[in-house]
Structure 1
Amino acid sequence: MQPLNYPRFPFRFKNRENKVYIFDVIRKKFVVLQPEEWVRQHVVHQLIFNKDYPKSHINVEKQLVINNMKKRYDVVVFNPSGSIEILVECKAPEVKITQGVFDQIARYNLQLKANYLMVTNGLDHFYCKMDLENESYSFLRDVPHYSAGAIQ
């Protein structure tokens, strides 16, 4: 897989039936290594190892229903009260981050109501802080560190 704009992490890999698998520390199993999964695992490791989010607050690839359609989010980070603090949309490195990608995460967030959004293809990363009350957002340089007190 191509290098991404993240630090190097100690990933675990295995080969089986002519496929490469990567160990997901959240799902606690090996999953097929596809380009989007490569990005997702970097995001998870970034949140855990560089932003100090507890593994127990992170969820990966769960289903949600929007307008009677089944969708899956990539990564969410819960706060201690159980509401969603960060919603992450991952794309493969070759997928450009377009308005359509932002529209997708915005649709998900209408239901999930996360305080922060992150969109990444592993090369380009975009972060927003949501103001749900005023239905607005502001772009950030990064998501906050867990110890920054943003997660209550």
Structure 2
Amino acid sequence: MDTRDLATLLLLAFCGYLAYRLIRWLWPIYEQRKELTTFEMLDRAIMSPMEEQQRQATKYGSRSRTLTIHLVNLGLLLAWMYYAPASKLVFWSLFFYQGIGFFVLNRAGVPTASDLTGLNMNDRLWLRLFHAWLWPAYLMHKFLQK
């Protein structure tokens, strides 16, 4: 394959991605076109990205909780990826730690169904991963309550 062909394929893929994003952004507004005037459609098109950013920032309840979940998961996963190649013991021990966390918290019902309402599969997995890192704290909390 020539470099010119590769550049053409990359340009085609980039244009396809931009078209997808544009249609995904404008489609809900297009669906409501019968009820809106032209200026209302323009106003919705301008406000739509800001509303989506607000929804993404508060998808786990509040901005601080969402930020905490993202930072903890990202930091621990990056640390795991950094230290895991050095030792198979580190990789497998943290893998089993996560597995135990998923099992224990699934039995305990954490996170609750109301916490998972409105989240897509990736966000649900991300939230469960956050809780699985902290499973010893949940067990300690349960034992101290009794």
Q: Same fold (TM over 0.5)?
A: no
Name the larger-Rg structure.
Answer: 2
TM-score (norm 2): 0.26
Decide which structure has greater strand share.
1
Give the TM-score normalised by structure 1.
Answer: 0.25
Q: Which structure shows the higher helix fraction?
A: 2
